[in-house]
Structure 1
């Protein structure tokens, strides 16, 4: 009695359109028919729907590769080599894994034998598939540009308020966008809230969240999302398809609001921006953009509450938080921290001899151990050696002088080594820049301090802000201490206990 051959089937399609046209089903049916004709017993089926053959990162293929050592099947059936991978080197890599596990591969339209000639033909077919893929991609790109210029929807992100009408081959109708009335109602509401109630984008986002209106992707409404939607010309009937980096092709689509409403909305958005809190000059904040939250590291913003100015983390509002969760970093009174930082900076600038001594010490320390040039040369030589080793290992694998397991292990080691060397090189660049800045600062420091110190008491608010942004890199207020990171040596400053509140979600003023 002949031994039954057990097989696994692998199928792949690369786009959602192919999924909908059921080409993966046609592959499966062809493979099942092939197996039945040869009295193969199908043990497993592995599918990758909507995955490109230009990469090996596919769940179905990963599961197949993991199952090679299970002994569940002796043969893998695949429709054609390009269904396995579009690149010849990827095909060779996976087939090598199968051979190591003593599993054979059979392609329906390309019988493969174990002779050198058979392997050569398979590799050539992989190269032809790569060429054909590049040719198809370029043909598709030029075709899309042509049809877009004819006013046909050819791709791009579908705007909120619209839905795709798929191409109808039978009636010769090409793909287009039509209004999604449920979402379009929300769009019209947003324009009405903007023009009739003069709501800000933040207020509209908050209202949409409270009304539990779903977004297109199921995420949370954000002010930036609302702002982007209201600026979109699609709602007045013009969708823009990006044909290249610098070219946008206008495509007519059904309008959701009339052009007059859209233009009025743009004027109101401009007015909102002028009077937004971030542009409100009624209450000025000297350290805007310099103070960071001690808890999450985000920038702190200025807010006015209960008759005083404060700084608080901009991630306190869940609409601004990246992960949708509020930060409990707390707040700090603006006046005490601004006075403390200003006094520290001006006090240092009024004593240039102390600053110069500190800079001389730093430069002396650097020069005593200055090996930047030699270190850089050594790292660059090491990087070139890594590149040569990678090329040699790849050549050895392609010439079958190296097993797949050894190839992977050695390449992983070299990639890790390359990352380490690149990190060392970046650190050298940082050190070199720092040394250059310190030497340049020392040459101009005394005259700069003398010039600045003479007019420190007469600076305007804008001039003070510019000076601080020139000198200070970041400020963190934590546990009653102001930590100042600056290009000049500065000491930390202590604040009074009542000037700060870092208790999570307690007593935090809302701007």
Structure 2
């Protein structure tokens, strides 16, 4: 596993040394757990309350490059002090396959906050999807009319003032000849070289590439078809090649296609960053090995035991442990009393999150009361230059406070109890055979897992949520069918 360290100190009450301390503790944590640090991102004298953190923003961008697996922070408040920003940036990291970890907080303070972040992610996703649906409806209408709906304009076409496709007389002949040459037996590389020798440039003004030719020969727009999402419209735009030639080319592509090189299957370990050795406290990571028969075995191993430094924790089979944890978590999700308790705690936490709005509202009431007193004084005939100045100050204060309240409401939307219930109870309908849905369940409800040789202790993301299950109990429950969605728990 590879990681980057993100460190930050604010100018309020911290010094440069605090950065060194954060990096030192993060580095020690990484060394203990077999994590390789590849880079440091450091923001100096900058608060986490602002998005204007250059190194932080660069780290978020770099997470898309697949250069690291983990963002490691000293404490989670180094990442973001605002729950809403935290949810937003964690979502970006998650999409890029990167996890956030704290070197000092194995179990975060106020674990319900993780569930609240899941709800906030869902809230944004829900309304983003609603907006997207409205946009898609409009774009689909354009596609049905044969209009350009965005994206790259295919080589050989131009878009006119009415947003419709027209054949480009300068480049379309090269498209037609490309299809004919491939049908006559030339390779894509030979066609690429011919176009480059002719000085033909791609849509961005660069050289033609193998991928450009491959994409061109597979693009059904050249026979007049236009597709937007799941809507296919034949004869929507002018065609450059005939359907007969296009189909002949597709047959040749299929015949010439070599069998793809065998890719090494990625080992996706569901519990990474949440699974700890019950004996030494180190992280447990996924490993795999191949038997003499060629069968691949996947398991979790203690980072300390891996380095032969004294821990005797045995390895545990990956699928067995993941099924056990998912099963126990689903039992929690299906428990009505537990879910209502979680919903109540999430609502309570959300109400505590924003302390600014109540303060601003009190200040607004005070300003409005002051304005009314000034107006009463004016009506009573008391009008001096200081009275007028004071009234103008109060009016300005009122406008500022109203603007601040509006900004806070926009930045931190209040999610209703009904939406929280809807969002959390949807986990009951997840398909546990799908990796992404299992991952969503684990990420939302599980805080930490401590694994021993005879039992597993699961800490869920709410204060009463700690459960210890012995392997014998798990096997017995499964054999009796006591709430298990799994066929059987055999020995690890």
TM-score per shorter chain, which class?
Answer: 0.3 to 0.5
| Greater RCO, 1 or 2 (C-alpha within 8 Å, sep 6+) | 2
TM-score, scaled relative to structure 2: 0.34
**Could you tell me the TM-score, scaled by structure 1's length?**
0.33
